[in-house]
Amino acid sequence: MDRNTAKHRSGPVTPAVHQPFTDPSTWYEAVYSSAENDINKVPWARSADYSLLTHWLSEQHQTFANRRALVVGCGLGDHAEMFARLGLQVTAFDIAPRAIDWCRQRFPTSAVAYQVADLFQLPEAWQSAFDLVFDAFTIQSLPPDLHDRAIAAIADTVTKAGTLLIMCHGRESGEPTDGPPWALAHTELDLFLHSGLQEVRFQDQERAGVRRFLVEYRKPQEALESSDSTADDRDARRIRASHR
Ligand SMILES: C[S@@+](CC[C@H](N)C(=O)[O-])C[C@H]1O[C@@H](n2cnc3c(N)ncnc32)[C@H](O)[C@@H]1O
């Protein structure tokens, strides 16, 4: 069995996943380290589903070549590699050093700049620096009291006229969530609107009993006059896609 792909989803995940969640900087590192190079022991890697992203990419008419992309909480690097294959100049970071080592080991000739970094202490050079910013499942991997700071930090990295793509587990507002992961309600994601982004598209997919959202935002060329008006506009633009 190739332990570096998630094709064989058998066997237990690493027991570190069942340890009490304390600090994100140590909990995720413990999961990656104790997985002993076996992707199938990392729960989010073994259950990865790329259909929402590949569908979004298939609909893009923009050229990505030489544009700058940032992949937040990149984990084992599969999304970052997808973007690099499209010609984007990709920087991908994660707080867990073992995850970054593992990315470099899996993709030794990769063009992606893999880096250990904390979302809450990003390099200044990354502010408003990226044409495409992608996050899959990082916000929800943090306790809810950190979601507003995580959202603001991600929003700050998008350049004017840039695109932000957020993928997360979804829930109705008011529906309880007990993480990790702490699934996100669409209303929570509205914090991106208050960080100056406009929602362009909202997709809500349910597959094999798992609800996922893919939300696309755009940072306007000019500063928004009123973030409240974009929240109202959002409902008009909402697209419900099933892709079951
Ligand atoms: C559920 S995993 C998702 C990984 C990857 N995006 C994927 O889809 O497979 C969440 C990731 O966020 C990372 N993470 C958590 N807190 C972080 C932080 N403050 N800064 C950067 N990465 C963080 C974790 O180490 C972990 O790799």
- How far is the C-alpha of 82 from the C-alpha of 67, rounded, in Å? 14
Average pLDDT rounded to a whole number, residues 202-221: 94
How far, in Å, from the CA of 197 to the mean position of ligand 1? 22
How far, in Å, from the CA of 138 to the mean position of ligand 1? 5
- How far is the C-alpha of 119 from the C-alpha of 20, rounded, in Å? 22
Average pLDDT rounded to a whole number, residues 113-125: 98
* Model pLDDT, residue 218: 97
Indicate which atom in ligand 1 lies nearest the CA of residue 118: 20
Cα-based torsion angle of the residue sequence 170, 130, 161, 220 in order, rounded to the nearest 10 degrees: 60
How far, in Å, from the CA of 139 to the mean position of ligand 1? 8
pLDDT(238) > 70: no
Q: Which residue has the higher pLDDT, 57 or 241?
A: 57
How far, in Å, from the CA of 187 to the mean position of ligand 1? 22
- How far is the C-alpha of 55 from the C-alpha of 207, rounded, in Å? 14
* Model pLDDT, residue 144: 93
| Residue to mutate (ligand 1; options 118, 138, 154, 166; most atoms within 8 A of CB) | 138
Residue in the structure block whose two tokens are 């990082």: 138
> Is residue 71 within a helix (H) or strand (E), and if so which, with residue range?
strand 68-72
Residues 9, 43 contacting (CB under 8 angstroms): no
CATH class of 49-237: alpha beta
* Model pLDDT, residue 77: 97
Query: 122-128 long-range CB contacts below 8 Å, 24 or more apart?
Result: 122/153, 122/156, 122/157, 126/70, 126/91, 126/157, 127/156, 127/157, 128/156, 128/157, 128/158, 128/159, 128/160
- How far is the C-alpha of 58 from the C-alpha of 135, rounded, in Å? 18
| Residue to mutate (ligand 1; options 32, 141, 146, 149; most atoms within 8 A of CB) | 141
Average pLDDT rounded to a whole number, residues 215-233: 69
Nearest CA to ligand 1 atom 8: 136
Average pLDDT rounded to a whole number, residues 41-50: 89
* Model pLDDT, residue 162: 96
* Model pLDDT, residue 166: 98
How far, in Å, from the CA of 145 to the mean position of ligand 1? 16
Q: Which residue has the higher pLDDT, 196 or 224?
A: 196
* Model pLDDT, residue 4: 67
13-17, 58-62, 220-224: segment of lowest average pLDDT: 220-224
Supply the pTM of this predicted model. 0.90
Ligand 1 binding residues, C-beta < 6 A:
24, 28, 44-45, 48, 73-75, 94-96, 99, 118-120, 136-138, 141-142
The most confident of 57-71, 121-135, 229-243, by mean pLDDT: 121-135
* Model pLDDT, residue 110: 98
pLDDT(186) > 50: yes
Round the average pLDDT of the chain to a whole number and report it.
88
Q: What is the pLDDT of residues 187-211, one digit of tens each?
A: 999 999 999 999 999 999 998 889 9
